[in-house]
């Protein structure tokens, strides 16, 4: 759980996010929202917040498992959708992924194949959003945004981001307040883009340390050495985190052009 400077007031934060969701939907003249519900904490919090903001009849969740998605994630997602009373559709994607990758004239890397899965999910979300007059609600948090830990035009392809201002540890605090099942609140972060895929395989530190590091550097403007001491990590971890942030800057900006 988050501590110190990155603790939040969950009640106030929930109200703020719900107000934001209602405004975005109203200003867009949309009928509702659709989101991918993975069984993880981020999509659980976004789903719960959207349901509270708009009502169960204006929220659609898609479960889009691949062959290597853990069954517990699918089960957790279905249970949450049922508890919220929202409509949930399960659309397995492995057959479509295989059709795309087997049609290509190049041997794709593991990352390239994984990104196909993320982008297929984006396509399905927008298919339903366009068909129903809905918006696509993104589920990325600030920890992922700062590290570029998402697929460009995949899970990064959304209409709005309700929790992108919250670090992962803050999202877990909010999840507990929103009565997300404890098993989901405490579940290790895992994009599951390949068998056994875990966030900790790619990030420079576990979220409890990474969030402190990011908060110190970006919010408090602390030096790298001070941030390392506060987060209790070696300076090399801060260096790696800042490198990931720099190298992923293209994900947080519009594509370069000569437009002006």
Q: Does the pLDDT of residue 109 top 50, yes or no? A: yes
pTM: 0.94
**Percent over 90 (pLDDT), the chain:** 88
DSSP 8-state assignment for residue 153: T
Strand order in the sheet with 87-90: 87-90, 59-63, 32-36, 134-136
**146-194 tens-digit pLDDT:** 999 999 999 999 999 999 999 999 999 999 999 999 999 999 887 777 7
Burial bucket for residue 228 (CB in 10 Å: 0-12, 13-18, 19+) = buried
Work out the average pLDDT over 122-145: 98
pLDDT for residue 5: 52
The whole-number average pLDDT for the span 225-250 is 97
pLDDT band at 123 (very low <50, low <70, confident <90, very high): very high
Above 60 in pLDDT, residue 100?
yes
Residue 191's pLDDT is what? 74
| Structure confidence at residue 228 (pLDDT) | 98
Superfamily grouping for domain 4-199: HUPs (3.40.50.620)
Structure confidence at residue 176 (pLDDT): 97
pLDDT at 4: 41
152 neighbors 159 (Cβ within 8 angstroms): no
Q: Where are the domains of the chain?
A: 4-199, 204-260
pLDDT in tens, 195-236: 777 777 889 999 999 999 999 999 999 999 999 999 999 999
């Amino acid at each position: 759980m988050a501590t110190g400077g990155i603790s939040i007031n969950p009640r106030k934060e929930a109200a703020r996010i719900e107000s934001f969701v209602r405004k975005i939907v109203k200003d867009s003249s949309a009928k509702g929202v659709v989101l991918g519900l993975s069984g993880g904490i981020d999509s659980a919090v976004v789903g719960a917040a959207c349901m509270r903001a708009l009502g169960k009849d204006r929220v659609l969740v898609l479960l889009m498992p691949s062959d290597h998605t853990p069954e517990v994630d699918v089960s957790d997602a279905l249970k949450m959708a049922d508890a919220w009373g929202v409509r949930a559709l399960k659309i397995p994607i492995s057959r479509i992924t295989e059709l795309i990758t087997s049609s290509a004239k190049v041997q794709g890397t593991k990352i390239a194949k994984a990104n196909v899965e993320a982008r297929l999910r984006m396509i399905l979300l927008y298919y339903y959003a366009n068909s129903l007059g809905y918006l696509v609600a993104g589920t990325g948090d600030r920890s992922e945004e700062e590290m570029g830990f998402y697929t460009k035009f995949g899970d990064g392809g959304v209409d709005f981001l309700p929790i992108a201002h919250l670090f992962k540890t803050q999202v877990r605090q909010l999840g507990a307040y929103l009565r997300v099942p404890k098993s989901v609140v405490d579940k290790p972060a895992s994009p599951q883009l390949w068998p056994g895929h875990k966030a900790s395989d790619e990030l420079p530190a576990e979220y409890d340390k990474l969030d402190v590091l990011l908060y110190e550097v970006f919010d408090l403007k602390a030096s790298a050495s001070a941030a390392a001491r506060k987060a209790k990590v070696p300076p090399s971890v801060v260096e790696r985190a800042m490198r990931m942030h720099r190298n992923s800057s293209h994900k947080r900006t519009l594509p370069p052009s000569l437009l002006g």
